[in-house]
Structures are given as structure tokens and as C-alpha cells.
Amino acid sequence: MCELFGVSAKHPIEANSRLNELRLRGGLAADNPDGWGLAWWENSAFRLAKEPQPAYQSTLFAALCESTRSNLIIAHVRKANFPPINTLSNTHPFLRTCCGKAWVFAHNGLLPDIVEMEQAHCKTACQPTGQTDSEYAFCHLLSHLAENFVNGGANAIGAASFASLATVSELIASHGKFNFLMSDGEHLIAYGHDRLHYLENGSDAGDSVMVATEPLSSDEAWIAFEPGELRIYRNGRLAGRIMTHPSIQTDWLEGPGLSPSTVHSG
């Protein structure tokens, strides 16, 4: 059922071996044969490449695994479930503009009710171009983000907007399985409803973190997300951590647009 991979780093880095491992899990080492996608931040904008074919067979993905160097990466290999239709428009990641920023999003899970939920929303921020529950969930998140957008200064998303995003994520997750990676070009936002892992690294070259559905190496200490945990990274460092289940608990660290605080909500 689909797999995710993300990177946040202080400086552009290569993630060749992990990206290649994900590529092999796109239909060879794992049953995710229905498309692949890679989004990365370059020259102040997202670049996006994707194909509705098995990742392990893609010469383009193989080449990108070797050449991609970025401080923000989101990649995805797809197992088509909702709907079981293999097209480019149904292939992750998805790219949209909201609140003055470009956003990319990729999802793992199954959300049979999300289409009806988003169609019932009065103020939609975007319209899906494909048919997946994932893209409808992305638009649903952006619709709520636009309604509750708080600018943290210097074009940064404010902490209150992240808290709102966490609340909506938990609501969506209550209707199925909802693990996702999302980025506005500055932050890597990772929500582990029931299955995500992270690997943090600090070095003289700068901090970095990798997030994946399943550990993409066997000799490193990947850590599983707590159920319902949302982690927000900026420049490779943890900027905030929100526990959405069973109640909202937020721990913010110092950072642009973010201030230390703790919020509890039943």
C-alpha cells in the first residue's frame, strides 16, 4: 500500500541509496507497481517528475536517484487502491498553490470517505485533477489551511496554522488510514497515523532528516513515529511535534514563525 520518502536538510544533499531502495520497492522489492513520483526543491521552486509505471523499471527515476541533490525531497511509489486506475493524474506527489506558497503532498493509506467530505466543504482551495482519495485529502487539508492561515512573519507559516493542520489530519485519519508527507518549500511536514519512520542526522555539514514508510536501510537506527504523531522539520531540524491522538499536544522549538508553547485540547 504505497510508500513514502522525504528529506529535509540544512544544505542540499544526495540521498542516492535511499531513493534507489525506494525505486526498487516500486514493484520489485515490494508490491507498489502503479507509478512513482519525485518532487524536490531547486532554485526556489519545486521540480516534479512522475510516471504511471513501475518505479523499478523507470530509466528516468534511476537517473534522478543518481543526480538529485536538494534540501527538500518528497518521493512516492504507488499501489493503486482508490481508485485502482493507473494514470499520470493519479500519481503522487501532487502540487498545488495555497496561502501564497507552492505545496507538494504524497499519501499512504486508504480514505473511502474523503471524496464526500471534500465535496461537502463549502470553501475548497483546489480541485483534484485525478480520482484518488489522496488528492482529495490534499485539497481538504489545503481548504482548512486556507481558512485558518496564520502568517508567522517573513512569509513563514505560523504555529497556529500547523496546529490547525494537525487537527484536520486527525479528523481525516479517523475515516481510514492517513500517513502523509507535505512541504511548502520550507518545512517538511510528516504525519504518521500508523506507519512512518524517521532517521535524524547531525554532522559538521549540517543537520538532516529522512522520513520513510519503512526503513530504507538495515544498518541505521530508524525510529517509528508514535501513532498520530505529526513532525515538522525545517533545515533538517525538528521545529515542532504534535501528538494528535488521543488529544492534541504540541511542543514547539524555536524557529521562524514558531514559538515555544504547549497546547492541550480534548
CATH of the domain at 115: 3.60.20.10
| 259 vs 148: which has the higher pLDDT | 148
The dihedral of CA 84, 86, 91, 96: what is its sign? negative
Identify the weakest region by mean pLDDT among 72-81, 82-91, 220-229, 243-252.
243-252
Residues 137, 3: Cα–Cα separation, whole Å? 17
Contact 167, 106 (CB under 8 A): no
**218 burial type by CB count under 10 A (0-12 exposed, 13-18 middle, 19+ buried):** exposed
| 87 vs 264: which has the higher pLDDT | 87
Identify the weakest region by mean pLDDT among 134-148, 181-195, 224-238.
134-148
Identify which of 129, 152, 149 has the alpha carbon closest to the alpha carbon of residue 139: 129
Identify which of 48, 22, 7, 3 has the alpha carbon closest to the alpha carbon of residue 187: 7
Identify which of 60, 72, 48, 70 has the alpha carbon closest to the alpha carbon of residue 23: 60
Q: Give residue 93's Cα distance to chain centre.
A: 8
Residues 223, 126: Cα–Cα separation, whole Å? 34
| Segments forming the whole domain that contains residue 69 | 3-265
Residues 38, 56: Cα–Cα separation, whole Å? 14
**pLDDT exceeding 70 applies to what percent of the chain?**
89
Packing angle, helices 159-173 and 133-147, rounded to 10? 140
Residues 163, 74: Cα–Cα separation, whole Å? 22
Mean pLDDT of 11-37: 97
pLDDT digits (tens, 9 = 90+) for 64-102: 999 999 999 999 999 998 888 999 999 999 999 998 899
User: Torsion-angle region of residue 76: left (phi > 0), alpha (psi -120 to 50) or beta?
Assistant: beta
Q: How confident is the model at residue 150 (pLDDT cuts 50, 70, 90)?
A: low
pLDDT digits (tens, 9 = 90+) for 2-22: 999 999 999 999 999 999 999
Q: What is the pLDDT of residue 152?
A: 58
Q: How many domains does the chain have?
A: 1
pLDDT digits (tens, 9 = 90+) for 196-215: 999 999 877 689 999 999 99
Query: Rounded to the nearest 5°, which phi and psi values hold at 206?
Result: 125, 160
| Mean pLDDT score across all residues of the chain | 89
Is 155's pLDDT higher than 70? Answer: no
* The total number of residues written for the chain in this structure: 266
Contact 212, 3 (CB under 8 A): yes
Tell the residue number behind the cell numbers 487502491, with chain if given: 81
Identify the weakest region by mean pLDDT among 11-15, 30-34, 258-262.
258-262
